[in-house]
Amino acid sequence: MLKAVLLLKENLDISKFCKVTAYLKRKSTGYQPKKSKCLSRDQIDKFLLEAPDKEFLLMKVALIFGVSGACRCDELSRMLVDDIEDQNNVLIVHIPDSKTKKPRRFVVVDERNLATYRRYLELRPPSTPHKRLFLNYKKGKCTVQPVGLHSFGKFPSQIATYLGLPTPLEYTGHCMRRSSATLLVDAGGDITNLKRHGGWQSSSVAEGYIEESIENKLDIANKIQAGPKKRPFTNIETCPSTSSDSSEICCTEISTEIFDKKVKLDHKSLSGINIANISNSTINVNICK
């Protein structure tokens, strides 16, 4: 940031000063930037279900759109009614202008979310002189005044206060965008899906929006500590007989959970041994002459 500001304001490229760069790197060692806290899936569902519409309908719609599309506050404030395509069972939302100058689209599903959006849209005054989607909402009514950028930045803190979460002021305007990225990765999304979803070009920047959730830690702990599932052990050996013509093959399948079984096959009628549907197993073949 310092390099960009000096280059813009003073036309000075400090990247040529190696000692300055080394000094700034030493001073930034151990620095941890403050990031907004995230809302979990259960907390989002609780707010959408329990919060009264008369007071929180606007915040509900903003939360649905913000989490579904990993939207920034300025993207929500500039969103127009024409940017939303209602196809009965799904909403297709277009974000034509973003920070990276790269348009994005996202989809809103679930009948509950669609019903919440349509209830809010029905309250839009017919005399509204602009097409901004989010209008000021108070006591169950909408006015023609659009919602400002800073109001969207306060919504996550107010939602956290309603839910009784500790330190609600740490839920900033980036909360909905970070929550969306975290929920996507916890559900199994890879880095390509994450970058496409949020419009990030850098993988390191996109990964910075992911919060270390407890659900993700539990899943990793189960994979590490539980270990692989046990597989049945199979032992196949050729058993001796009194004459070479009557030698037989004894197949013993030992299952640690179900059964022990022996099958004898005549070597004259045996064209080969086929083993199927076995993985992570050890097969011992002993040929006795």
Q: Say which CATH number the domain at 116 has.
A: 1.10.443.10
pLDDT band at 228 (very low <50, low <70, confident <90, very high): low
Nearest alpha-carbon partner for 135 in 154, 114, 120, 157: 120
pLDDT digits (tens, 9 = 90+) for 35-77: 889 999 999 999 999 999 999 999 999 999 999 999 999 999 9
Name which residue leads in pLDDT, 178 or 243.
Answer: 178
Question: What contacts 242, CB < 8 A, 6 or more positions away?
Answer: none
Structural domain of 71: 41-223
pLDDT band at 247 (very low <50, low <70, confident <90, very high): very low
Identify whether 202 is part of a domain: yes
In terms of domains, do 98 and 238 share one?
Answer: no
Identify whether 14 is part of a domain: no
In terms of domains, do 210 and 136 share one?
Answer: yes
Q: What count of other Cβ atoms lies within 10 Å of the Cβ of residue 91?
A: 20
CA gap 51, 57 in Å, rounded: 8
- pTM, to two decimals: 0.69
In terms of domains, do 257 and 157 share one?
Answer: no
Select from 201, 223, 245 the last residue of a domain: 223
Give the pLDDT confidence score for residue 123 in this predicted structure.
Answer: 94
In terms of domains, do 117 and 256 share one?
Answer: no
In terms of domains, do 127 and 148 share one?
Answer: yes
In terms of domains, do 216 and 83 share one?
Answer: yes
